[in-house]
Structure 1
Amino acid sequence: MVEILACGFLVVDIVVADIDRIANPGETIFVHRGIEISIGGHPANVAIDLVKLGIRPDIIGVSGAVGNDMFGDFIERTLRSYGLNVFLQRVNMSTNKNVILVVRGEDRRFHVEIGASRMYAPSLVKKLIERERPRIFYLASGILDQVDNKIEEIFRTAKEHGAITFADVVKPYGKGWDYIIPAMEYIDIFHCNDKEAVNIAHTESLEEAIDFIIERGVKLLLITMGGRGAIGASKCVRIMQKAFKVRVIDPTGAGDGFCAGIIYKLMEMKIRNLDKLIAMKEELVRMILYAQAVGAMACTAPGTTSGVTKRRVEELIGDQGKELLMSTTIREWN
């Protein structure tokens, strides 16, 4: 039985990072850092980060759909190389791929082929939940046609089997953001960025977006904002924390690193009742700090996970953590 089950879309990332600019039409640019090919997709990144932070791989499961192709083989081989439990669905579609261009000082540019993840079966996800009974169930959605259509049922199943439920999202493909709203009453932790939050709530105000998501049942909303830091929100508290300062090479894995940091702390603190954690405001602040440090380290090397190690995360907190804690704002909320 696994204690952490991470499900969702799996991707092969083709990363061109730390470049001066995008080539003009017809122009050739030589990239000094090379072109990296690495595993991607939220559940894979989160699981690998957790192993690199010190969580035993034998208690982590990863599931998603991949094609019967060399890219699917690469994903399976990479996941197994970390000692993870791998529950893949092989389908007759090409494996998802993402060409990522990162100009120095700018946000990433994604060019995504959505393939096998569209065939990921809700029945497999529910079967894994019922068989493994994980303590933490993490699902990244938005480009999972069949799973997204059954997402309320899937999160309800996870709650019925005693899991802390953790939702992450990407820009939906072939549908609007409303697909996730019915599932919110069964979601304990919801992660998105600030742009995604306002799109989900159909508002231009981030504060209104936070209220919208919390009112629909999410217990703990975590919003990451890149270099502007992170927000933690519940029915009773709003936490605003500034970001760590690092040299950004590739920000692709920042959000997944953040989510891995949250899950790591949930495991370390042996949290089974999220309400108790939310009531411990100072512990929640430190959890967000740790998650931000993992996300920051993920930005310091090409690819989604190569910059993350437990030692580097702890060193970053040692260097900058005290200052960030002192500047963190905590507002009581009614």
Structure 2
Amino acid sequence: MKKEIAIAALGELLIDFTEAGISKNGRKLFEQNPGGAPANLLTVASHMGYRTAFIGKIGTDMHGAFLKKTLQQEGIATGAVVEDEHYFTTLAFVEIDEKGERNFSFARKPGADTQLQTEELDVKLLSDCRIFHFGSLSLTQEPSRGTTLEAIRIAKDAGALISYDPNYRASLWPDEETAVAQMKSVIPLADVMKVSDEESLLLTGAADYEEAADQLLSNGLKLVAITLGSKGALVATSTYREIVKAFPVNAVDTTGAGDSFWGGFLSCYLSYDKKMEDLGVEELRRCALTGNATAGLCVQKRGGIPSIPTRKEIEEFIRERTDR
């Protein structure tokens, strides 16, 4: 029986208050941008025409209501989004430098996203998705850590491809050692993994990205994608390895770049209707190309979800730059 949901993702749904200029009084202005890594990824897949669903918790406050409405407007199912009156929706304040790189400050003590309980999981949804995706922010504290592990178990037992994207935010962990231990502990549970260049070295202690890819694959992963910023992405399996170059663009805000890459990659993968391990070299290359194009468009705008391009924009972007 064919599964109804292409991708279900569990994790943080939050507001990124992104720097947006200076007021008349000389004060920084911040723009309310809906985001959260799992939600960013789902938005890409939804724009690409796939059925998606978000699993997580928000507060019964103005920010939670705004986020839920945003997901619905993006075509992402919200039946598994829990609203909790006892916790405030998580907020992130994002400072951006001249290269579009970010510095985060979180209001999350605790945020609603960390309070998702195991009994609040939608078991039917987890059993009815082709891909189950999660990140590491839900691993920072209980009860969301245990809930994430249970969701992985349910989805894996039902035959879903398990996708993992460690998203290291130092201020959300008691120390680096704890963060690395927790982020590494779930790698053997995943089938595919996207990780940034810095995070790949942090998690493995490797001297370079090639060595990091080897170490990560040794955990039983079918595929590892290491994003390398403006250089593109290293895609590695047991039989294939290549750095697929990025498209040159002028980056305004890198928020959501990695999520956009992975959302584009997984969406392209879904279009082949094959097992990950059965993809050929050209198909893997096309997945990375689609990811790079999605990320290249994303970083030209501010915010997470608001910067996600449409399918038409992605296809035109690729066509214009590969037909030359």
Q: Tell me the TM-score range normalised by the shorter chain.
A: 0.7 to 0.9
The answer (yes or no) to whether the contact 2:235–2:288 under 8 Å persists in 1 is yes
- Over 3 Å counting, the alpha-carbon distance change for 1:178 and 1:28 in structure 2 is farther
Q: 2-side partners of 1:238 and 1:48: how far apart?
A: 28
The Cα RMSD (Å) is 2.5
Which position in structure 2 is the counterpart of 1:274? 276
Structure 2's unaligned 5+ residue stretches are: none
Q: Percent identity?
A: 26
> What is the deviation of 1:106?
4.1
Which position in structure 2 is the counterpart of 1:105? 99
| Structure 1: 4+ residue segments shifted above 4 A | 149-153
> What is the deviation of 1:193?
0.1
Counting only pairs closer than 5 Å after superposition, residues 82-93 of structure 1 correspond to structure 2 as 82-86=74-78, 87-91=80-84, 92-93=86-87
Q: 1-side partners of 2:72 and 2:151: how far apart?
A: 26
TM-score by length of 1: 0.84
Q: 1-side partners of 2:208 and 2:147: how far apart?
A: 29
Counting only pairs closer than 5 Å after superposition, residues 225-240 of structure 1 correspond to structure 2 as 225-240=228-243
> What is the deviation of 1:234?
1.3
Secondary structure of the structure 2 residue equivalent to 1:248:
coil
2:249 aligns with one of 238, 246, 251: 246
TM-score by length of 2: 0.86
> What is the deviation of 1:7?
1.2
Which position in structure 2 is the counterpart of 1:223? 226
The answer (yes or no) to whether the contact 1:99–1:112 under 8 Å persists in 2 is yes
Number of equivalenced pairs: 308
Q: 1-side partners of 2:229 and 2:88: how far apart?
A: 31
Q: 2-side partners of 1:151 and 1:209: how far apart?
A: 25
Secondary structure of the structure 2 residue equivalent to 1:302:
coil
The answer (yes or no) to whether the contact 1:4–1:134 under 8 Å persists in 2 is yes
Task: Tell me whether 1:141 sits opposite 2:144 in the alignment.
Answer: no
Task: Tell me whether 1:52 sits opposite 2:47 in the alignment.
Answer: yes
Q: 1-side partners of 2:259 and 2:90: how far apart?
A: 17
Structure 1's unaligned 5+ residue stretches are: 324-334
Which position in structure 2 is the counterpart of 1:65? 57
| Cα deviation 1:74-106 (Å, max 9, x = unaligned) | 111111223321111223221111111223324
> What is the deviation of 1:39?
0.9
Which position in structure 1 is the counterpart of 2:159? 162
Which position in structure 1 is the counterpart of 2:67? 75
> What is the deviation of 1:122?
3.6
> What is the deviation of 1:128?
4.7
> What is the deviation of 1:125?
4.0
Q: 1-side partners of 2:159 and 2:138: how far apart?
A: 26
Q: 2-side partners of 1:322 and 1:203: how far apart?
A: 37
2:36 aligns with one of 35, 41, 47: 41
The answer (yes or no) to whether the contact 2:34–2:306 under 8 Å persists in 1 is no
- Over 3 Å counting, the alpha-carbon distance change for 1:117 and 1:306 in structure 2 is closer
